[in-house]
Amino acid sequence: MKAAIIGGGVIGGGWAARFLLNGWDVAVFDPDPDAERKIGEVIANARRNLPALYDTALPAEGILSFHSAMADAVRDADWIQESIPERLDLKHKILGDLSELAPETAVIGSSTSGFKPSELNEKGARAIVAHPFNPVYLLPLTELVGDARTCETAASILRSIGMFPLMVRKEIDAHIADRFLEAVWREALWLVKDGIATTEEIDEAIRMGFGIRWAQMGLFETYRVAGGEAGMKHFMAQFGPALKWPWTKLMDVPEFTDELVDLIAGQSDAQSGHMSIRELERLRDDNLVGMMRALKKTGSGAGGVIQRHEAELPKPYATDLPITADRQIPVSWTDYNGHMNETHYLEAGSLATDRFMELIGADADYIASGKSYFTIETHVRYLSELHAGDRLTIRTQVLEGEGKKLHLFHLLYGPDDTLAATVETLLLHVDLTTRASSLPDQNVLEQLQSYHHAHAALGQPEGAGRSVGQKA
Q: How many angstroms separate the CA atoms of 454 and 445, rounded?
A: 14
Residues of the chain with pLDDT under 50: none
Q: How many angstroms separate the CA atoms of 412 and 421, rounded?
A: 5
pLDDT of residue 221: 85
Residue 100 near residue 83 (C-beta atoms within 8 A): no
Alpha-carbon Rg for the chain, nearest whole angstrom, is 26
Closest CA to 153 of 105, 112, 111, 97: 105
Residues in the chain, total: 472
Q: What is the DSSP letter of 39?
A: H
Residue 301 near residue 215 (C-beta atoms within 8 A): yes
Burial class (CB in 10 A: 0-12, 13-18, 19+), 405: middle
For the chain, domain boundaries? 2-175, 178-274, 315-456
- For residues 253, 120, 69 and 31, what is the CA-based torsion angle, rounded to 10 degrees? -10
Residue 392 near residue 413 (C-beta atoms within 8 A): yes
Q: How far is CA 130 from CA 70, 112, 164, 196, 452, in A?
A: 20, 7, 11, 37, 51
For strands 141-145 and 128-131, give the pairing. antiparallel
Q: How far is CA 13 from CA 9, 119, 136, 147, 302, in A?
A: 6, 25, 8, 26, 21
Burial class (CB in 10 A: 0-12, 13-18, 19+), 223: middle
Cα 103–107–111 angle (5° rounding)? 130
pLDDT (tens digit, 9 = 90+) per residue, 256-268?
788 888 998 898 8
pLDDT of residue 316: 61
State the pTM of this model: 0.79
Assigned fold of 2-175: Rossmann fold (3.40.50)
Pinpoint the alpha helices (H) of 22-176.
Answer: 35-49, 70-74, 88-101, 117-120, 148-160
For strands 25-29 and 64-67, give the pairing. parallel
Q: What is the DSSP letter of 59?
A: P
pLDDT of residue 472: 64
Q: How far is CA 320 from CA 337, 401, 456, in A?
A: 35, 17, 11
Residue 307 near residue 296 (C-beta atoms within 8 A): yes
| Identical fold between 2-175 and 315-456 | no
Tell me which CATH homologous superfamily contains domain 315-456.
Hotdog Thioesterase (3.10.129.10)
pLDDT of residue 242: 67
Q: How many angstroms separate the CA atoms of 191 and 260, rounded?
A: 11
How many C-alpha atoms does 192 have within 13 Å on its Cβ side? 27
